[in-house]
Amino acid sequence: MLHFDEIVFGPIFSRRLGSSLGVNILPSVGKLCNFDCVYCECGWNKDGAVEGRRFPDLQEVEQALTSKISKAAAEGVPVDSITFSGNGEPTMHPDFAQIIDVTLKLRDEYFPDAKVSVLSNATLLGREDVAQALMRVDNPILKIDASSQELVEKINKPVGTYKLADVIDNMKKFEGNFILQTMFLRSEDFDTVASGALEAWRDIVRMLRPRQVMVYTIDRETPDKSLGKYTVEEMTAMVQPLMDEGFDIQVRG
C-alpha cells in the first residue's frame, strides 16, 4: 500500500501537473480518514491504527514546507503545483486552515504561478473554517463517488455520520468553483454506475455545476481485492451526455 513518511515530498514530475510537491499533513504511520473507501490506496484505517501516532503540528508543517520550497527556489528547480493528499483526509488536521494560509504565503513568495490543490472527501465542508480554506486554494478537488447514501455506505464506508444530501448542500457554497472527483468501480456487491445510479450522479453534476469533473477508476492495489475497473472508453460513454451539455470532464483510466 502507498504511504508517505515525509510531510513534504517531491518535486515529482508528471505530464499533468508538471513539477509537483506533495504534502501529507496526516500522521506518517497508517491511514487516518473519516472514510474507509474500498479502493483506498493507503489500505484500511484499522491496519494503521498505531498507538501514539499524531498529526505533524503547524510549526513542523511550516518548517518542512519552507525548507523544501526555499531549497527548490535556490537551486532553480521549478515548482508548478503543491498538492495536499497523503495518508488520509487532510481537512481532519486541526490546523488545516492555518496550514493552507502558510502554504499560500510561501507559494506567493517563491513560486507565485504554482497552483495549490487539495484532494478532500468533502465530509468536513460543514465546518466553516475548512470550507473557507478550501475556497482559498486554486484547486479544491472534492469527492463524490456515489449518488445514493446506500452506495456511499458500501464504497466509502464513512466512519461516523455522513449524509450525502448535506455534503451536496455544502458543495453548493462553492458556486461551481471546484473540481468534482468521482471513482467509477464495481464489485460483486455494487456498481457505481448501474443505470439509475449513473443518471442520479449526472444529476448531481448538473446541480453543482463544478468547473471540472475528474472521473477515474481503480489503478493501484486496493484493500478489497474483488473490485472491478472500467475502461476509458466505458467511462467516456458514461459521461458523454454531460460533455455534450458543455461540462469539462477529464477521464482517466
- What burial class does residue 136 get, using C-beta atoms within 10 Å of its C-beta: 0-12 exposed, 13-18 middle, 19+ buried? middle
- Min dist CB 206 to ligand SF4, Å, is 24
Residue 55 binds ligand SF4 (CB under 6 A): no
Number of neighbours of residue 110 by Cβ within 10 angstroms? 16
Residue 96 binds ligand SF4 (CB under 6 A): no
Q: Which residues contact 95 (CB under 8 A, 6 or more apart)?
A: 57, 58, 61
Cα 27 to Cα 204: distance, rounded to the nearest angstrom: 33
Whether the Cβ atoms of residue 66 and residue 49 lie closer than 8 Å to each other: no
Stretch that binds ligand SF4, among 30-38, 134-142, 186-194, 234-242 (CB under 6 A): 30-38
Interface with ligand SF4 (CB under 6 A), residue from 36, 57, 153, 224: 36
Interface with ligand SF4 (CB under 6 A), residue from 40, 64, 124, 235: 40
Residue 215 binds ligand SF4 (CB under 6 A): no
Interface with ligand SF4 (CB under 6 A), residue from 20, 81, 91, 121: 121
Residue 4 binds ligand SF4 (CB under 6 A): no
Stretch that binds ligand SF4, among 32-40, 72-80, 95-103, 129-137 (CB under 6 A): 32-40
Stretch that binds ligand SF4, among 28-36, 76-84, 223-231, 234-242 (CB under 6 A): 28-36
Name the nearest CA neighbour of 209 among 235, 242, 250, 166.
242
Q: Which helix (H) or strand (E) holds 20?
A: strand 18-23
- Min dist CB 173 to ligand SF4, Å, is 20
Residue 153 binds ligand SF4 (CB under 6 A): no
DSSP bridge partners of 83: 22, 117
Stretch that binds ligand SF4, among 1-9, 35-43, 74-82, 240-248 (CB under 6 A): 35-43
Amino acid at 213: V
**Closer residue to ligand SF4, CB minimum distance, 40 or 144:** 40
Cell of 240: 458523454
Amino acid at 21: L
**How remote is the C-alpha of 133 from its chain's centroid?**
14
Residue 89 binds ligand SF4 (CB under 6 A): yes
Whether the Cβ atoms of residue 113 and residue 80 lie closer than 8 Å to each other: yes
Interface with ligand SF4 (CB under 6 A), residue from 17, 21, 25, 37: 37
DSSP bridge partners of 183: 216
Binding site for ligand SF4 (CB under 6 A): 33, 35-37, 40, 42, 88-89, 121
